[in-house]
Structure 1
Amino acid sequence: MNFRFQNLLGAPYRGGNALISENTLLLSPVGNRISVTDLTKSQSQTLPCESSSNISRIAVSPDGTFLLSVDDNRRCLLINLRRRIVLHRLTFKHPVSSLKFSPDGSLIAVGVGKLVQIWRSPGFRKEFFPFQLVRTFADCDGPITALDWAPDSEYILAGSKDLTVRLFCLKKLKTFRKPFLFLGHREFVVGAFFSMEKKNPDRVCRVYTISRDGAIFTWNFNGNECNFDASDRQISDPLSPGTPEQMHDENVDIVSNGRKRKKSSEGNDGNLDEGVWEFALHRGKWELLRKDFFMQASAKLTACDYHRGLDMVVVGFSNGVFGLYQMPDFVCIHMLSISREKITTAVFNGLGNWLTFGCAKLGQLLVWEWRSESYILKQQGHYFDVNCIAYSPDSQLLATGADDNKIKVWTVSSGFCFVTFSEHTNAVTALHFMAGNHCLLSASLDGTVRAWDLFRYRNFRTFTTPTSRQFVSLASDQSGEVICAGTLDSFEIFVWSMKTGRLLDVLSGHEGPVHGLMFSPTNAILTSSSWDKTVRLWDVFEGKGAVETFPHNHDVLTVVYRPDGKQLASSTLDGQIHFWDPIDGLLMHTIEGRRDIAGGRLMTDRRSAANSSSGKYFTTLCYSADGSYILAGGSSKYICMYDVADQVLLRRFQITRNLSLDGVLDFLNSKKMTDAGPLELIDDEISDVEEGIDRQVRESLGHDLPGAMPNHGRPVVRTKCLRIAPTGRCWAAATTEGVLLYSIDESFVFDPTDLDMDVTPEAVDAAIAEGQPQRALLLSLRLNEDSLIKKCIVAVKPLDVPAVASSIPFRYLQRLIEAFADLLESCPHLEFILRWCQELCKAHGHSIQQNSRSLLPCLRSLQKAITNLHQDLADTCSSNEYLLRYLTSSGPKN
């Protein structure tokens, strides 16, 4: 039951801005979650933290420790990126359009509506109210669209929809001064950036402002022509030493969040030192140096970024074209097209050698190295919802099929898709892996069943029918010789030969769509379920047709076998799960699940969630590997886990808390109810407002027609398919949010050995003397001393081997296996070491299978040592056998 969220597959990017932290970690919003991709290790994970709705903006601190995310409901989360936990929460009063940490990490600039708010960045210390508002600038006449910090964290640029860019100074000056305005743009500003001098990287020399119509203005700073009054430089009377005012006025280092931030030479009274007076950005003279245009007349500029070290600008347009330019001469280095859809994010990494682009409408995210013109990462999720999933026999691969006619195969351990099949011309409805692990079957509404070769990545066989049919279910026998598929329109089951591709038989008898199809794990009996309220058993090889029929009182939605083949489970439209004995044909027991799966109310429902009958049934079932429990899901936000023997609910998994989806809330907010209905369903959008991601999706689905979708195209939360891995240690669910992965693997649990402690050989010896073999072994693995590791292995008692083996973190498995390989060649305790290996495989079998490539060298060394040991023992036994025969035959005769 200890399943926890592990990863989210199927949609790498859905909108918002992407970031690259520490040059290699790619952070991108995925609905109401955040995906973290390690570009060097080729691994992708999703943070377990959930926002209340889809995330619109994210920002990361300069040291990569803190992550700030803001969703569509204006709720902000401060996340410790390394610990993957939420530290603080905050709610803004207006929509947040821009978000950025200061270069020293002590401040956060937030564009809240028409305001620019400066907040103090929280740290690790415990505070009653960690977020402290430092300054608020209310000079803009339109919503904020762009923010950028100066390197000294004392000035900030703010672009707005009022077609201007303003320069704000964070220090409170003695004389009031309006912020400097950069004017001249004809559309609202998309980006504004400070540019530094090459000889002095800490000194600002230029400002670039980029507008939506594809114009970039270069502004030059002349610090020699300062504009100030003499009263501003008037030195105030010295303060008494030791007072809080005098301590605050001293030029000392301010420590915030463990980071030192040097105080500016300008005090609270507006005084400046003579050496830096000419470089005060708010007092110098700014002049327009040049105007340049990107010449994309039919497209709008939608995303941009600037790299100060390289003095380069990257821009993305609404037609899928991006450009890379060298500034300030405006020299085009690259101008390429990614797709025909709008680029919603474009960003440099810290070194400036990688460019990240995202397209929200296509769910596309790619990282491109512009010098070598090669892809570092190219991932694209399913355009529509995932309908079906299937695990490979070794649990390392996961295949997904969706309404976008595509099949994607993912590596479970890394979270990456390595192949996409797009030969189907209609929605993919069923997937099935063959026993050999290299062949995948798929069924589609286009009337074909296709077989895919995962070695050569091609479609090597296609199964068709004499007349076009729509397939919604798929099954194969244990030998892989027979392929069966159920139809949606003709209510028939078609049987093909895998070797020849010929149609062998057509099974008729159902009077409704055949949505469930599965072979018995122990014999050649095929079981099918249909909306005609029956479950039928077919003898495919003998050609006897329907062997037995199990009647139900309501439509049967799905059917599944227990792994031992001695039990059959079927789900009906009334919310019940029926368990049958397939041998005797008797009903064993029934689980009533209407109340368990109930929950969530649609915006268009006129009844409460408790009184509504819609969605209170299970559309997908899946047994565990040992058959002790069963998972059930449907048109609800819950996935239920039942104990099969006792027929009790063990646990409910809530697949999402994203309020952007319909069916998540149990009760509607009465404050949002009007005479015309719920406030969310009233279309009061302004026509000249830039179209968002949700509107793009509605247009692509054709739901903007009057009366087509009363809830404005909001997706409804549901679970379409459930599958448990053959190892039994993880399971996957195809939901509206994507493919959710849950696991009980210890590698995803916090490792206590990461704590700071004195790790010495003396500590290892002390742990052994105190009878703590587990702690001693972990300390020796951290020291990585071969002699200490072997000493701690031998010091473990045989009865304690299972407990110690299960507590070893995954990161030390390779080192431990290498030690076992060496011990087998020299240690006399052969049975003891072999038992260690056996318990280690039992405890970490799933992790070893998922990471077999990285563990392959040490596993081969262990296999070689065991093979040599087996050969030596075999030779010894053979020689002893002949010696005993000789001694018995040459002995004295009676």
Structure 2
Amino acid sequence: MALFSFQFSNLLGTVYRCGNLNFTCDGNSVISPVGNRVTVFDLKNNKSSTLPLATRYNVKCVGLSPDGRLAIIVDEGGDALLVSLVCRSVLHHFHFKGSVHSVSFSPDGRKFVVTKGNIAQMYHAPGRKREFNAFVLDKTYFGPYDETTCIDWTDDSRCFAVGSKDMSTWVFGAERWDNLIYYALGGHKDAIVACFFESGSLDLYTISQDGALCVWQCDTSPEGLRPKAPTGWKADLLQGEEEEEEEEETTVRGKSAPAPEEQQGKVKYSRLARYFFNKEGDFNNLTAAAFHKKTHLLVTGFASGIFHLHELPKFNLIHSLSVSDQRVASIAVNGSGDWIAFGCAGLGQLLVWEWQSESYVLKQQGHFNSMVSLAYSPDGQYIVTASLSALQVKVWNTLSGFCFVTFTEHSSGITGVTFTATGYVIVTSSMDGTVRAFDLHRYRNFRTFTSPPPTPFSCVAVGPPGRLCPVRPAVLSESPVSCSSCAAPLPGLAPRPLRQVWPPAGWAPSLALITRLFSALAVTFRPDGAELAVATLNSQITFWDPENAVQTGSIEGRHDLKTGRKELDKVTAKHSAKGKAFTTLCYSADGQSVLAGGMSKFVCIYHVKEQILRKKFEISRNLSLDAMEEFLNRRKMTEFGNLALIDQDAGAEDGVAIPLPGVKKGDMSSRHLKPEIRVTSLRFSPTGRCWAATTTEGLLVYSLDAQMLFDPFELDTDVTPARIRAAVRQQDLTRAILMAFRLNERTLLQEVLESVPWDEVEVVSSSLPELYVEKVLEFLASSFEVSRHLEFYLIWTQKLLLVHGQKLKSRAGKVLPAVQFLQKSIQRHLDSVSKLCDCNRYNIQYALAVSKQRGIKRPSEPLGSEEEADAPDDDDTLHPLGEGQEDGDRQLV
């Protein structure tokens, strides 16, 4: 297992944080900002994936090109990433030198506009020309006196409108028009939230935060915009050309056509109507809006979680529903106008609603914060996570990335979760003094355990026989006791010394006592139970033989944590790291390495036997989190103190207004909270090909990317693709397979294995050396995920396990990850194929019943008289193919 090849794979547990939502051009996927990353939710294929890139701060806005190939991602600091959504990589970095509120591409894809401060800047869109600089500034537009808030383009990309917090809306020309340079629109009493052009027109809709909608009519059509005449030597040159053309037209037509007088005037707007949304209370401000031009559908969201659907321009109400009890931060409508996406930042909710059928297409809510524990199912298909503050237990599908069930039966913080050996029961411990068991078949809490005296439980574990081992914080010497592989005490509580490890059945209790001078924070058993790892407060990881109570090794991890400096710290990061330690541990599937994390942005993998650091993973580079920077930011230090002490969010747009004398907006009791980066739990997948970590940003999943990995095995100069293909042509299949695995190129491996006839798989598999059997099983497990040759690879799997099954038992510890990975892949196909077969079985039974009623003879029945043909047949089963029947003779009923 190449521990150095783990790469970021997906982000679960958080579906939306802040920023704007976007639908892809086909309308089947939603692009959602999640912290400093971006996640794409494929609604058609029911799958989510997070782009393998990250910004320096939280994502503020995302602009999508009309063809859906490029995206501009801008963070809170003004740094922008030009991303290719096709190859999922960063093409260009750019800094806008200021906080950007919104970014929007023109419909023709040639330009894009960003709103920054009180100005709007138009750039040439990248990808149209081969240029060294991808972002070329075309023009800067001035006009608003306060911050700009929104952008919208006309359909022909000739003009765009910009809304501002100064209650005005400005219409600018994207090109040099003679009759339109800029036009300012008023009429509102609050900040502009959104502005939209009518389809094929310069008519405009403006919406303000107080719930007012203004309809503006323009006296000029888009075709009536006249290009401004150039000046200087260009004007003289063009004037000479135009005079020659006019003389030719006069000679041909005999007269000239002077321009009408009405085309010489400027563009003017007039307000046709003004509407108000029904508000419930003084605090229900309008916070987001979206407009679908083809269907004239206006969607508006409010601070109370209510949204309205109106038909414009008559302002007819279609729907008025509530999707959440939190503020609707962003709204997007797909290209067809059928699906509406809502983002609620308060609870981290993402919803996609189909307004015509009034049903949810997607309804997801993450933990948002305070995830403290996670566990993998035995087959690696599911991950269960628990939250300390939200009182939720969520189960995530590792293949789709979606949460499919949430349990909320606990009444206090949840401290531990685990799966039973069957994988269909989840056991949780909580501070409410209960241990609950949940069934994944019926999605219910079917068993609740309580202690005689009300005592909060700090963790829980399930042994191989299915015996529960909950642990409460104070048992021996007022210290928490860890059972089996349960981990540390709760975050925020003072650590206490670990006094005892409860042994499994059959172990002598006297041999299981382990006393340490330092406080223990985490403890975990090796998968085979022969070794115990303990993380202590002095930043060490010690390894023990639990049967003999003998220490076998230790690792000093103080210098590997590299904790960052908080904004209010008065000591350097180097000195603050002395008080930090690992708070969570996890063994790898083969037991040769241990994964460690804690109050740091790094996760370390150590080799247990050699006691050395193998690799460090930086789980986040988000500077919006605390304890990320190593050095003090001198720009925040003034003669009056640290600027971090000043709460700059008072009176912000998402603040809650309170009726205090002299206070117009903003909740003076609310304070800005900057979460601190931490890793609360780590787990390796039973397959050994991925590991997950619950962090401040969410549930991060790292996996092995076999498609991009070149890992040769016993390679020499005689192994080449030409010689491998020559061995296949000579029917030396075993030698070809051995050489292909030495070169270890996936496409070549697939070519060689699929060249083996199905009736010779047993002979070839029996001739493989024992060392290569594990590699073949790993390749088969990964092939089940992408290949269409399901039956062929199942034959390979069956023959390998039958022939080498006894030998694999002697190496169960090393082969177990590959077998579990294989089981996970086969189980996924079993679930999908079984559902398809059940559906087809009922369809075939229905077709047979219909054929009987119509008097149609089945192919399996002998031909006879009409009476025999009309007679019903009691045998409704399908007969398999006979020995003399070919595939071409198979007939559909």
TM-score grouping bracket, smaller chain normalisation = 0.7 to 0.9
- Match in the other structure for 2:278: 295
- Match in the other structure for 2:434: 448
Return the TM-score normalized by structure 2.
Answer: 0.77
Contact 1:767 1:776 in 2 (8 A): no
Give the AA of the match of 1:419: V
Residue 190 of structure 2 aligns to a residue whose secondary structure is coil
Give the AA of the match of 1:669: N
Residue 612 of structure 1 aligns to a residue whose secondary structure is helix
- Match in the other structure for 1:662: 626
In 1, distance between residues paired with 2:449 and 2:259? 78
Give the AA of the match of 1:128: F
Residue 76 of structure 1 aligns to a residue whose secondary structure is strand
Give the AA of the match of 1:217: C
| Residue 90 of structure 2 is aligned to residue 98 of structure 1 | no
CA separation of 1:148 and 1:781: change in aligned 2, threshold 3 A: farther
Give the AA of the match of 2:653: E
Q: Deviations over 1:192-239 (max 9, x none)?
A: 11112xxxxxx3152111111111111223338999999969995555
Structure 2 stretches lacking a partner, 5+ long: 246-255, 487-492, 659-665, 711-723, 809-814, 837-882, 884-893
* 1:855-866 equivalent positions in 2, closer than 5 A: none
TM-aligned CA deviation for residue 375 of structure 1:
0.5
TM-aligned CA deviation for residue 294 of structure 1:
1.1
* 1:445-594 equivalent positions in 2, closer than 5 A: 445-480=431-466, 482-488=467-473, 491-492=474-475, 509-514=476-481, 516-518=482-484, 531-538=495-502, 548-594=512-558
Residue 654 of structure 2 aligns to a residue whose secondary structure is coil
TM-aligned CA deviation for residue 185 of structure 1:
1.0
- Match in the other structure for 1:190: 193
Match of residue 408, structure 1, among 361, 370, 394:
394
- Match in the other structure for 1:691: 654
Q: Deviations over 1:311-369 (max 9, x none)?
A: 11000001110011111111111100112211001110111100101110011111000
Match of residue 209, structure 1, among 199, 206, 216:
206
TM-aligned CA deviation for residue 821 of structure 1:
6.5
CA separation of 1:86 and 1:450: change in aligned 2, threshold 3 A: same
In 2, distance between residues paired with 1:182 and 1:743? 53
TM-aligned CA deviation for residue 111 of structure 1:
0.4
CA separation of 1:630 and 1:462: change in aligned 2, threshold 3 A: same
In 1, distance between residues paired with 2:629 and 2:703? 26
Match of residue 57, structure 2, among 31, 53, 58:
53
In 1, distance between residues paired with 2:71 and 2:225? 39
Q: Deviations over 1:44-80 (max 9, x none)?
A: 1111101101111111111111111111111111111
Give the AA of the match of 2:569: D
Q: Deviations over 1:396-431 (max 9, x none)?
A: 110000121110011111111011010111111111
- Match in the other structure for 1:199: none
Q: Deviations over 1:766-800 (max 9, x none)?
A: 99779999799959989xxx999989999999779
TM-aligned CA deviation for residue 691 of structure 1:
2.9
Residue 278 of structure 2 aligns to a residue whose secondary structure is coil
Structure 1 stretches lacking a partner, 5+ long: 197-202, 251-272, 493-508, 521-528, 696-702, 751-763, 862-871, 873-894
- Match in the other structure for 1:525: none
CA separation of 1:277 and 1:51: change in aligned 2, threshold 3 A: farther
Contact 1:789 1:819 in 2 (8 A): no
TM-aligned CA deviation for residue 285 of structure 1:
3.5
In 2, distance between residues paired with 1:295 and 1:560? 57
- Match in the other structure for 1:258: none
Give the AA of the match of 1:465: S
Contact 2:148 2:165 in 1 (8 A): yes
CA separation of 1:9 and 1:134: change in aligned 2, threshold 3 A: same
Match of residue 17, structure 1, among 12, 16, 20:
20
In 1, distance between residues paired with 2:21 and 2:835? 41
- Match in the other structure for 1:148: 152
Contact 1:223 1:278 in 2 (8 A): no
Residue 610 of structure 1 aligns to a residue whose secondary structure is helix
Match of residue 585, structure 2, among 615, 621, 631:
621
Q: Deviations over 1:488-526 (max 9, x none)?
A: 3xx12xxxxxxxxxxxxxxxx343233x32169xxxxxx
In 2, distance between residues paired with 1:833 and 1:511? 54
TM-aligned CA deviation for residue 476 of structure 1:
2.2
| Residue 686 of structure 2 is aligned to residue 734 of structure 1 | no
| Residue 681 of structure 2 is aligned to residue 721 of structure 1 | yes
Contact 1:278 1:284 in 2 (8 A): no
Contact 2:66 2:109 in 1 (8 A): yes
CA separation of 1:232 and 1:86: change in aligned 2, threshold 3 A: closer
Equivalent pairs, count: 770
TM-aligned CA deviation for residue 843 of structure 1:
6.7
Give the AA of the match of 2:687: T
TM-aligned CA deviation for residue 713 of structure 1:
1.8
Mean Cα deviation higher: 286-295 or 103-112? 286-295
| Residue 336 of structure 2 is aligned to residue 358 of structure 1 | no
- Match in the other structure for 1:495: none
| Residue 821 of structure 2 is aligned to residue 846 of structure 1 | yes
Contact 1:719 1:736 in 2 (8 A): yes
Q: Deviations over 1:411-470 (max 9, x none)?
A: 111111011010111111111111111111101111111111111111111111222211
Which structure has the highest strand share of the two?
A: 1
TM-aligned CA deviation for residue 168 of structure 1:
0.6
Return the TM-score normalized by structure 1.
Answer: 0.77
- Match in the other structure for 1:886: none
Match of residue 43, structure 2, among 16, 39, 53:
39
- Match in the other structure for 1:119: 123
Contact 2:338 2:356 in 1 (8 A): yes
CA separation of 1:533 and 1:831: change in aligned 2, threshold 3 A: closer
- Match in the other structure for 2:308: 323
Give the AA of the match of 1:733: A
Residue 815 of structure 1 aligns to a residue whose secondary structure is coil
Contact 2:33 2:59 in 1 (8 A): yes
Contact 1:476 1:519 in 2 (8 A): no
In 1, distance between residues paired with 2:291 and 2:748? 46
Q: Deviations over 1:553-579 (max 9, x none)?
A: 211112111112221111110101111
- Match in the other structure for 1:342: 327
- Match in the other structure for 1:746: 706
Of all paired residues, the percent bearing the same amino acid is 38
In 2, distance between residues paired with 1:728 and 1:231? 66
